[in-house]
Structure 1
């Protein structure tokens, strides 16, 4: 029984239909205005309107590009696609990395692995994702999808729809990623494909296996298909990181000698006079290093995915298809961290050796770049993160042509169940230290006879911290669409009308618990300040994890392995209970009605296709959880009580897509629409969380509205022979209602404890909530595509080709900094480009690809300082050789130049991360029968 079931929360009664009909009447959809004048757009599905023959070993990369170009040309709006071989034949590690080859698509990487997708460099939460026309759950807290849980080998095609139509479930402000899995009647005959691969990582030195298969056949009116992929990945990442900005309020707000000494040292060594030690606007502009850490990560992944499709197709006018997609993803990440936490509760400034008051002078910021501290908390942390996600999706689709009507129906379910298990074994030693920035990160120097890396007997056990989180993400959907071809004598241009209805019911439930072990039995604190690090089994960190030397610098240290920690410190019968105060659940119901029309006519002697329509969307939200309120008697404690709240909104979203063939194979394409992106479910959740280090409460906000965009795009596309394409488009977006974290109140006299349970002090905590920011922001961009077989230039270049794209943005969209530091929003990069050069003949193919993403803001630390992920470019290579008509050998390499991931706060003068994940080489064999 969940915490919700134990409470008398109001039941969520569907009421969206009544409100939607009211909004339709008010909006005038049922007025005397003809439906045609309001109507929109394209077919129900764009990538699925035609059967796709899967490109196999008998095909080629150029054939897959040709098929993708055909889809782009026939689609109503702006879009790009990849199919079969293009998805599976690059050296990607998951679906996100397969998508990065597409125009305008980049990815966010986490320790060398693509995890989230950006379309046109906009933040990931602006992208809508669906699989087989069903919006996808992945267990994340937002609307974004965690692509690293999906195997690319089981995907048939992907279309990124950049201009929405009324028939789309959601348009997505950046775009909509529409993923399709294979069906048996996609093939002209029976098919069996088997591939095996082994991949080697240059740092971990491990070899990881991957196995995939697909089997499909038809039996008269029936067809069946199954596919399966399983893989393991062991990746090591070495990182000199954690060198964040920390405002001087950490010391100045402390009582007694700590603040007095900090004031004295600031004036003595840096000439900085503190006027009001409690004025955050002043203290937030005096910066020191929060922590300097050297870290080694080992990430072990086991991933599997499977699809099944059962199709009944007695004729070309009727088909009934059941699709299933299942998957499992388990990642165990070990982190071994040796760090100097300069901002400890015992410490303050001792000596400022160097400072910088010029680099960030325009913001009034002084950075203390080289400082000795009185009592740094030196830490050895052995952290273990286990992510176990199960994914399930089922859908039943009907396609029926009946007496001039095209009828399409869909019912489906998408769900993800994620369990996150976290543990942190912490040993600390307090001593004076000197920490400073270096060219690539930071370092801590030995001082006062104490070397933090070689004194395990000085480190005392503080706690073995554990957390357990379970997230259940479910979505049910039903859709019914009707399309009618017309031949009207009084309006011959109107070729067809289409209308439909869609209902979705989405629910996200989260349970969380945390506890600390400080002794050999429950409630015991026997080990605190008595057990030392030397009392445990120690190993060199480079022996605990496979591979060679620590990459960022010449350094090694002793650490306690996570296997030893789990076996030693978790006493018999230990478990992590869920806490009521951390529970929340969000239910969301959406009902949409749409109508659209297609028109074919000539304009100035040129054929024109016009698609126009409108979607009416009505949404109800119910959020419930537990709220922490200060005790009524005025004491500093808090009482937890259940609470719930409803929210709602409705919108009319018009759209228009048009193409004109101005010359043979030269299209001018135009689109305009209004669209939305719903707020993250974690932001809607009615809950309060706390960040003790930031002195902050964060509340949810069920009254959040979506982020809206008005957008238009104009482009020209020249379709050449053999899949060639030259295209350029200019897009414009006006975005309003961007979700920001905003200070909405304060809570005085909050008791804050140290990790060992001692009193740190009483502080005033800020209360932040996500809100829809006022005003609107402009984003404009240019996208260029060149897909060119070079045989067009000269016959000697037969077999050579390029596939390149370039996207550049100009925007007024800003992130939220309480210091009014101008910054783009998180995830937005100004420039991205991809370039692939390939060669192929009957038996051999080779491709080299370079992907580049400009710098972008990764996080706005403490809502004050933008932290940038530096510009990153990666080179990948794929080679293939056909041993015979059925078997192909491949050699692939990821990040062949071994690029490092770097980041900085505000300017590269203050680096925060220097991270190495290595290169990956794989050898594979693929058989196709």
Structure 2
């Protein structure tokens, strides 16, 4: 990912005073402006109030930051981050206007700005684009501890100086600096959090220490947290097209066709016509799953500053962190579309709900040979994050010179194992109100899948290992000159700069199956039964209470037992050359922009206009298939490469007009881009045996581009109050989608036991830039009101609310031409917080809502929706002494479930519970 050029908005005085105000809030103590900030306080016109940090004051400071920004933006500061209940940085951001998060088993993981997909959001820390080890452009926020963050600004309308890469917006994260404080500071906090399902209590600890000595200053912060969480889910219920049976050899195909005609009146004219067979749907798989996650996260920052005068500073920042997550999944599933099965009896079907697409959904079916599976899965993910940067701020003869050199890197290791036992038998699978279930059928050979351990035969202990190295280097130089020209008095300043970034992602991957007690031995296959292993109830293995989605329990093999039993001495997972890839990307960016101060009809106005030129070069490496002399498939001896490049010119304009006292009208227009995911660029081919398809990378992908425009009015009131409304419009083109680009005929496919499944035609899919464009329009409303402005009797009460509504023009993303909105885009989101605070007590209750959105498009045909979700969180605080505060916080207090469906709520795919989380904490500052 090319670290692109991110503007620091370098008004030194403004940045210093604002960051000072933020820091006083995180420490919760009275501080005063240092001398170098006082020298320029009149320039930035932000009043810094030296009082104890409170939530209302943090809102005031965030509003000041919003008001002073030339473009559309919103901010959150340290008190707000620290005092609200959250499990990581993503959850700390979810209350900002237009910001929502994606949740994974009860944990916020990725950030959406204005409900656009998470990979449309650019993220930087201390002005350096951030690595996280993911294959996309999105950042996995769950690796970052929120306690070490000082402030976050979401920039929604860019300037030419801002690093390109945020069609949705840019999330700019800042950490603390020692000269932000006038005195030595030390802050210590600790808390314990209890999960209602796992019934475990997890510790969290953090501290910050800062001091200055003459021209030098140093700061360190550290945070460590453990999290134990259980999630129960009835899920994995996918649509499967009838081609799975109809394209098989007889008698499976002919029997399926006969049963369709007999029980549902459906006559198939062409078994090979995918447009016909893909509109006849049955359930692919139904699973009951228990997840147990054990997470250990730490993060630290260090900052050393040399500041001999108000005209010069040199700052070294370091940010280190680690995130280890061990997840055990215990899955009892029924795979209806097994290679041995076909339809036996259709008990119920639905030919009305999706009739407009010509689709018939078989909702209750008995199958001849369902593949029942007990799966004990273990995922061990370890991520190490490192970031270093050196910045220089220098005022020299009227020029503001800013320089940056930095590195951001992430190393990620994913160790996966799956112990698989299988029983083939007739059974009946059907949708339920909230998910699905598999029960015994009328066939005398049917089994109770949850209580037949002697029927399940060992198939394999599968392991995979992935290692990812994600590195980014950046160098930047900016120049700014304040002007006072009599010939052009409106021109207040000019600014120009250059940025070079170098990104590289390298990935190794391997997989192997253990099928016996030693390497190459397969003596366990179809001989060892589930009953031969040590079994326990899943609700005991994954500690906690009863299974939440329904009245059910079952016995499985624990992952601890599986690892110790089946991993023989000397075992390792070898990397495979065909899975290797590396992507290198270099970006050079130049920009120039001007700022104007003038009047329009007597109204004070400011204009920022500029242009950014970007040159991008991509080289992708991978091993590619070749034909050996004996006719077998091999791979090139050395990696082969493919190149790609593109150039872009990105103009931007931001205008503010003070139409009345404290009422600002803003307008912004710009062009921006988002580069394709590195995993999509990678020069490689992977295979999905279950979906009968190959997936190729595409080094020639171009970025997704957007033309965007926004206008709005903001009314700033006393005590941090604000009412704001804005309308925005985005025209997005070149969206990356997977499309069918080829066909490989007669591919040999084998079952897990090595037996021949058959020869099939495999489709080749490749990410491409889709033709045409789509429009996204939206309305954003903000109301932040201290209620004392209505009545003195409401002193201490207030509300902080925002609402975002979207509309889009995209249709037809599905291969079946099913109208589908962009993945990740929700029509409406809103956040509402009510609060009360006085000198010793504060209370907050917050509700966050995100409308339904398309999570992915299954098999490139059927849009799968994550259902609308709303969550209630609370926070209570009591000041025990001037320096010590006690807090009680709660997450998901109403214990909301996470749900999803394919195309229509009548066909649910997920019914998931992650429980509520309550924490008790203590914070001391000195």
Query: What's the TM-score bracket when you normalise by the shorter of the two chains?
Result: over 0.9
Conservation of the 8 A alpha-carbon contact between 1:317 and 1:401 = yes
Q: Deviations over 1:860-910 (max 9, x none)?
A: 000010000000000000000000110000000000000000000000000
Is it true that 1:352 corresponds to 2:320 in the alignment?
A: no
Contact 2:667 2:712 in 1 (8 A): yes
Contact 2:16 2:180 (8 Å CA) reproduced: no
Contact 1:43 1:167 in 2 (8 A): no
- Following the alignment from structure 2 to structure 1, what is the Cα–Cα distance between the partners of residues 924 and 727? 43
Compute the displacement of 1:44 (Å). 8.1
C-alpha deviation, 1:201, in angstroms: 0.2
In structure 1, what is the equivalent of residue 38 of structure 2? none
Match for residue 5 of structure 1?
A: none
- Corresponding position of 1:196: 190
CA distance in 1, matches of 2:636, 2:360: 41
Deviation (angstroms), 1:638: 5.5
Give the structure 2 partner of residue 904 of structure 1. 901
Once the two structures are superposed, the pairs formed by residues 47-446 of structure 1 within 5 Å of their partners are 50-53=18-21, 54=23, 55=25, 56-57=27-28, 58-446=52-440
1:865 matched to 2:859: no
Determine which of 494, 517, 521 is the counterpart of 2:518. Answer: 521
Tell me what 1:796 maps to.
Answer: 793
Pair 1:44–1:393, CA change in 2 (3 A): farther
> Which secondary structure state, in structure 1, belongs to the residue aligned with residue 314 of structure 2?
strand
CA distance in 1, matches of 2:473, 2:784: 39
**CA–CA separation in structure 2 for the residues paired with 1:351 and 1:750:** 31
Unaligned 5+ runs, structure 2: 29-51
Work out whether 1:927 is the aligned partner of 2:895.
no
Q: Could you report, residue by residue, the CA deviation over 1:333-363 in whole angstroms, capped at 9, with x for unpaired residues?
A: 0000001111110000000000001110111
Specify whether residues 421 and 47 from structure 1 end up closer, same or farther in structure 2 by C-alpha distance, changes over 3 A only.
Answer: farther
Hey, what's the Cα distance between the residues in 2 that align with 1:575 and 1:639? 22
CA deviations on 1:667-687 (whole Å, 9 max, x unpaired) are 011110010000000010000
Q: CA deviation at 1:87?
A: 1.1
Structure 2 equivalent of residue 914 of structure 1: 911
Aligned mates of 2:922, 2:213 — CA distance in 1:
29
CA-to-aligned-CA distance 1:94-133 (integer Å, 9 cap, x gap): 0000010100000000001000000000011110000000
The equivalent of 2:878 in structure 1 is 881
The CA RMSD over aligned residues, in Å, is: 1.6
SS in 1 for 2:290: strand
1:603 aligns with 2:597: no
Residue 628 (structure 1) shift: 2.5
Inter-CA distance 295–815: structure 2 relative to 1 (3 Å threshold): farther
CA contact (8 A) 1:440 1:911 kept: yes
Tell me the CA shift for residue 603 of structure 1: 1.2
What's the CA shift for 1:315?
1.1
Q: Give the deviation of 1:527 after TM superposition.
A: 0.3
Q: 1:41 to 1:323 in 2, by over 3 A?
A: closer
User: Equivalent residue for 1:579?
Assistant: 576
1: CA distance, partners of 2:272 / 2:773:
34
For the residue of structure 2 that corresponds to 1:344, the secondary structure is coil
What's the CA shift string for 1:383-406, capped at 9, x where partnerless?
Answer: 001110000000000000011000
- Matches of residues 524-539 of structure 1 in structure 2 within 5 Å? 524-539=521-536
Higher mean C-alpha deviation, range 321-330 or range 643-652: 643-652
Shift of 1:42: 5.1
CA apart distance, 1:48: 6.6
> Offset at 1:279?
1.0
Q: 2:44 corresponds to which residue?
A: none
* Shift in alpha-carbon separation, 1:639–1:226, aligned structure 2, 3 A: closer
Cα distance per residue 1:479-502 (max 9 Å; x no partner): 000000111110011111000000
Q: Is the 8 A contact 1:122 1:828 kept in 2?
A: yes
1:286 deviation in Å?
0.6
Instruction: Determine which of 477, 481, 500 is the counterpart of 2:497.
Output: 500
**Partner residue in 2 for 1:567:** 564
Distance (whole Å) between structure 1 residues aligned to residue 812 and residue 628 of structure 2: 36
Residue number among 716, 727, 740 corresponding to 2:737 in the alignment: 740
CA distance in 2, matches of 1:719, 1:75: 14
> Contact between 1:636 and 1:749, CA under 8 Å: does it hold in 2?
no
Structure 1: any 5+ residue segments left out of the alignment?
A: 1-13, 21-39
The aligned residue for residue 34 of structure 2 is: none
Where do residues 767-778 of structure 1 align in structure 2 (5 Å cutoff)? 767-778=764-775
Alpha-carbon distance in structure 2 between the residues aligned to 1:481 and 1:667: 29
Taking a change above 3 Å as real, the CA distance of residues 680 and 632 of structure 1, as seen in their structure-2 partners, is farther
Q: 1:826: Cα distance to partner? A: 1.1
Is the Cα contact below 8 Å between 2:368 and 2:426 reproduced in 1?
yes
Q: 1:815 to 1:507 in 2, by over 3 A?
A: farther
How far apart in 2 are the matches of 1:137 and 1:41? 19
> Does the Cα contact within 8 Å between 2:623 and 2:635 map onto a contact in 1?
no
Q: Distance in 1 between matches of 2:53 and 2:641?
A: 56
Contact 1:429 1:459 survives alignment (8 Å): yes
Deviation at 1:477, TM superposition (A): 0.2
How far is the alpha carbon of 1:51 from its aligned partner?
3.4
8 A Cα contact 1:252 1:263, kept in partner: yes
The runs of 4+ residues in structure 1 deviating greater than 4 Å are 40-50, 629-633, 635-641
2:810/2:819 contact within 8 Å kept: no
How far does residue 314 in structure 1 lie from its aligned partner after superposition?
A: 1.1
Structure 1 residues 871 and 216, CA gap change in structure 2 (3 angstroms): same
Verify: 1:623 aligned to 2:616, yes or no.
no
From the superposition, tell whether residues 646 and 586 of structure 1 become closer, same or farther in structure 2 (CA, over 3 Å).
same
Give the TM-score taking structure 1 as reference length: 0.95
1:702 matched to 2:699: yes
What is the CA distance between 1:813 and its match in structure 2? 2.9
Structure 1, residues 435-456: CA drift from partner, whole Å, max 9, x if none? 1000000011123351111110
Q: Which of 753-762 and 426-435 deviates more?
A: 753-762
Q: For residue 527 of structure 1, give the secondary structure of its aligned residue in structure 2.
A: coil
Counterpart Cα distance in 2 of 1:216 and 1:898? 40
1:536-551 correspondence runs (5 A): 536-551=533-548
- 2:350 and 2:200 map into 1 onto residues whose CA distance is 44
| Separation of aligned partners in 1, 2:11 and 2:759 | 59
Give yes or no for contact 1:815–1:825 (8 Å, CA) kept in 2.
no
Q: Give SS of 2:624's match.
A: strand
d(CA) in 2 for partners of 1:371 and 1:596?
65
- Partners in 2 of 1:462 and 1:189 — Cα distance? 65
Counterpart position of 2:751: 754
Asked if the contact 1:41–1:166 (Cα under 8 Å) also holds between the matched residues in 2, the reply is no
CA contact (8 A) 1:41 1:76 kept: no
Normalised TM-score (structure 2): 0.95
Residues 845 and 859 of structure 1, relative CA distance in 2, 3 Å threshold: same
